[in-house]
Amino acid sequence: MKAFISVDLEGMPYIVAPSQLNLKRVLYEEARKIATKTTLIVADELHKNGFEEVLVADSHGPMVNLHVEDLPEYIEVIRGFPRPLSMVAGIEGCDAAIFLGYHAKFGTAKSTFDHTYSGGSIRKVEVNGVEVSEFLLNVYVAGELGVPPIMVAGEAQLLRDDVEKWAPWVETVALKSSLSRVAARSPSMAKIEKELREAAKRAASKLKAKKAKLLIAKKPVDMRVAFLVSHFADVAELLPTAKRVDGLTVEYTAKDMTEAYKTFELLVLAASGVSSFITEQM
């Protein structure tokens, strides 16, 4: 069997400061070590429970966060951005999906670094009328490609809001409970490791027992994207398939979730481009 692991940073334990999330900031190295250790713990337990291969998608920011020295032979890593299917690049052909370090969607109260895909441009994303987090957005893509989610470890509010509601068969581990957007309570790493290993073992067992399910979005897929500022929507509206809904929002219809996701990626990149352009003129 082959496992796919998508790794984000904001939902990792102990990560509460912006300086832990940026390549150029002083505490970034600490976050890299935490994320790498968490990923290797889960990968090791999966390997012990029947997964001959583990594909890890480094999926935060520029997507070059994890330490890749001395990786076990059974692990491959996808790094770099932009790339097709972004946080779930390479998931096709895998037997199960695991999401580590994931966080709640934009606007979630008392949730560290709440945002949806792009903290600098996106306010809300809806798939067929359902507001999605990054977890739900990525799981819809996985489901369309025949890959069931079996485990999520991240910020506690995400687990309550989205994972338990939309994928109740998934094994979960709360890596931290937030006190505010920039403060959280985390267990010891020893306790986290124990819970991660137990959850990974149960997840592998559920998959073998055929208790894991696919979460598939109805086709065609109706997408609605609300931006943080109106000039991002101005640019998004230039896409021939996009319809302006209001000052901040566009909507479009895609034939399937893969097409919907790629179009969304393009809109985010366009917003980033116009943001840089405007900043240079100030």
User: Where residue 166 falls among pLDDT bands split at 50, 70, 90?
Assistant: very high
Yes or no: say if 117 and 188 are a contact pair by the CB < 8 Å rule. Answer: no
Flag whether pLDDT at 204 surpasses 80. Answer: yes
pLDDT reported for residue 281: 77
* Residue 115 annotated among the catalytic residues of the structure: yes
Q: Tell whether 125 is covered by a domain.
A: no
Length of the chain: 282
Q: Tell whether 228 is covered by a domain.
A: no
Report how far residue 80's alpha carbon sits from residue 72's, in angstroms, rounded to the nearest whole number.
20
Q: Tell whether 185 is covered by a domain.
A: yes
Q: Containing H/E element for 122?
A: strand 122-127
Give, in order, the Cα–Cα distances in Å from 145 to each of 94, 128, 141, 148, 250: 9, 18, 6, 9, 26
Flag whether pLDDT at 282 surpasses 80. Answer: no
Flag whether pLDDT at 280 surpasses 90. Answer: no
Q: Tell whether 270 is covered by a domain.
A: no
From the list 121, 99, 112, 220, the residue with the least C-alpha distance to 170 is: 99
Q: Containing H/E element for 243?
A: strand 243-244
* Domain containing residue 32: 2-109+133-208
The label of the residue with tokens 């055929």 reads: 210
In three-state secondary structure terms, 126 is: strand
The domain total for the chain is: 1
Q: Tell whether 139 is covered by a domain.
A: yes
Q: Tell whether 191 is covered by a domain.
A: yes
State the amino acid at position 136 in one-letter form: L
Q: Tell whether 162 is covered by a domain.
A: yes
**Which member of 47, 60, 103, 115 is catalytic?**
115
Yes or no: say if 199 and 173 are a contact pair by the CB < 8 Å rule. Answer: yes
pLDDT in tens, 40-98: 999 999 999 999 999 999 999 999 999 999 899 999 999 999 999 999 999 999 999 99
User: Where residue 277 falls among pLDDT bands split at 50, 70, 90?
Assistant: confident
Q: Tell whether 279 is covered by a domain.
A: no
CATH number for the domain harbouring residue 29: 3.40.50.10780
In three-state secondary structure terms, 92 is: coil
From the list 223, 214, 213, 216, the residue with the least C-alpha distance to 259 is: 223
Query: Mean pLDDT over all residues of the chain?
Result: 97
Comparison of pLDDT for 38 and 279, the residue scoring more = 38
pLDDT reported for residue 117: 97
